[in-house]
Amino acid sequence: MFWKRKNKAARAGVDAALEDASYDTVKALAKKLGLNPKSRRKTDAIAEISPFLNGTEKAVKLFKSLDNLQQKAVAEAVFHKDNEFDDGRFAAKYGANPSFGKRKDYYDVDPTLLCLFIFSDEYGKFIPNDLAAKLKPFVPRPQGFYLKTIETLPETITVKFPEWKRKSVAEIPLIVRETEGEALQDFWAVLRLIENKKISVSDKTFYPSSASTNEIVAVLRGGDFYEIREDKNRYPQIGAIKGFAWAMILQASKLTNVSAKRLALSNEGRKITSRPAHEIIKNLWQSWCKNTLLDEFNRVDEIKGQKHKGKTNLTGIKPRRESVVNSFQLCPVGEWIAIDEFFRCVRLNFDFTVARDEWNLYIAESGYGSLGYEYGADFDKWY
């Protein structure tokens, strides 16, 4: 995404945006307005379309001719701080995207009148600033964000499998695991391991060794989130989630330091026993939010290319982590929220980019497995 640029002239004025559009698009839009340009030149077609967009009365009339979803799309862009339109956010909010056109064949698309309002450059979709200013007094402000909660948890959940699987859908019992009570007990258990010099870490990455991760899992109440199964075809093993996380969280909290490749209690770590339980957990959380010790995305080791030519291909971790943390703050206390609903909350309320160049990220094979093919639709959404 970092190599893409905004067309400043097109974003400033609707005439420049029309000029930047393809000849076929401008010609098709002129026909939809019932116009018959004097010549085949694009400039003549733009000259006839221009009064429909530069005059407030005609622009509002044209806006009202759009269908409901298209009007909502215009409203979202008009009230965006940069007059931009995001397909992913819109679909997350309204459940579908508006129609920008119907594909006639592989190359040609028959545009809808929405293309007279929302244009695009290599960076993304937008409404020209001068057109947005004319529409703003008349376009209804978009509805606010609403987070859906669940009053009663179901006993089972429906899991859908890929089409090539024999079983396409299955009902699986829902397991409720309340971790609030576990957290403090796990903290003291791991702290005792560190006090006894049982946890070794890398002097470069500060990651715990596999043996140390397993030591931590063994003392956790309830063990790890998932059963750990060794995959003999993959080395190194990704290992446990909670066992790995506790070693990193305690390093980020400054309650420990590294001595001869082993974790040891710092002066602050020795004093921690006198503090109330809720303050300890709060300290761990706040310290983690600020640290750059680990980019959580690095743990998704099936996605290759996170480092490209010796440099990280991922954006800074702090803006991404802040978006997730701020989304947690929007969640009501004491209520259940479906994970897809939480993803929708992140997608709607916070804007961040995961990769500097999505084409360098891939699964299995760099050519056919590049995430660039599906980046705009899925990658940031599921981060």
126 and 182, same domain (yes or no): no
- Predicted confidence (pLDDT) at residue 382 exceeds the cutoff of 70: no
* Residue of higher predicted confidence among 77 and 180: 77
Task: Identify the top-confidence range among 157-161, 246-250, 257-261.
Answer: 246-250
| Cα torsion through 126, 128, 131, 132, rounded to 10 | 50
**Residue 248 burial (10 A CB sphere; 0-12, 13-18, 19+):** buried
Considering its fold, how many domains does the chain have in total? 2
23 and 107, same domain (yes or no): yes
- Predicted confidence (pLDDT) at residue 380 exceeds the cutoff of 60: no
62 and 116, same domain (yes or no): yes
Mean pLDDT across 115-130: 92
Give dist(CA 74, CA 136) in Å, integer.
10
127 and 36, same domain (yes or no): yes
pLDDT for 351 equals 74
**Is residue 362 assigned to a domain?**
no
Q: Strand (E) positions, 27-152?
A: 84-85, 101-103, 109-111, 119-120, 125-126
- Expressed as residue numbers, the domain containing 274 is 177-294
> What is the phi/psi pair of residue 30, to 5°?
-60, -40
Coil, helix or strand at residue 60: helix
**Is residue 338 assigned to a domain?**
no
Place 284 in a pLDDT band, splitting at 50, 70 and 90: very high
13 and 126, same domain (yes or no): yes
Q: Specify whether the CB–CB gap between 333 and 149 falls below 8 A.
A: no
Q: Identify the domain boundary among 83, 113, 135.
A: 135
Give dist(CA 120, CA 128) in Å, integer.
10
Coil, helix or strand at residue 370: strand
Q: How far is CA 340 from CA 144, 149, 154, 344, in A?
A: 18, 11, 15, 6
- Predicted confidence (pLDDT) at residue 373 exceeds the cutoff of 80: no
Give dist(CA 191, CA 250) in Å, integer.
9
**Is residue 342 assigned to a domain?**
no
- Predicted confidence (pLDDT) at residue 109 exceeds the cutoff of 90: no
103 and 218, same domain (yes or no): no
**Is residue 352 assigned to a domain?**
no
Give dist(CA 123, CA 4) in Å, integer.
5
Give dist(CA 64, CA 322) in Å, integer.
39
129 and 211, same domain (yes or no): no
- Sign of the four-CA dihedral 98, 104, 109, 110: negative
Give dist(CA 145, CA 7) in Å, integer.
30
28 and 126, same domain (yes or no): yes
Q: Specify whether the CB–CB gap between 344 and 331 falls below 8 A.
A: no
**Is residue 223 assigned to a domain?**
yes
187 and 124, same domain (yes or no): no
Q: What number of helices (H) and strands (E) belong to the chain? A: 15, 13
**Is residue 34 assigned to a domain?**
yes
183 and 130, same domain (yes or no): no
Q: Identify the domain boundary among 113, 135, 157.
A: 135
Cis peptide before 236 (omega within 30 of 0): yes
Give dist(CA 47, CA 51) in Å, integer.
8
> What spatial distance separates the first Cα and last Cα of the chain, rounded to whole Å?
15
* Residue of higher predicted confidence among 89 and 237: 89
- Predicted confidence (pLDDT) at residue 105 exceeds the cutoff of 80: no
- Predicted confidence (pLDDT) at residue 69 exceeds the cutoff of 80: yes
pLDDT for 132 equals 94
**Is residue 263 assigned to a domain?**
yes
Give dist(CA 85, CA 348) in Å, integer.
12
Mean pLDDT across 161-190: 84
Choose among 253, 258, 257: nearest CA to 279: 253
* CA 191 and chain centroid, separation: 34
54 and 130, same domain (yes or no): yes
Task: Identify the top-confidence range among 1-15, 260-274, 364-378.
Answer: 260-274
**Is residue 197 assigned to a domain?**
yes
pLDDT digits (tens, 9 = 90+) for 339-350: 889 988 888 887
Choose among 333, 330, 355, 352: nearest CA to 341: 330
Contacts of 118 (CB under 8 A, 6+ apart): 73, 74, 77, 85, 100, 125, 126, 127
Q: Identify the domain boundary among 252, 270, 294.
A: 294
* CA 71 and chain centroid, separation: 25
191 and 110, same domain (yes or no): no
Q: Which amino acid is at 28?
A: A
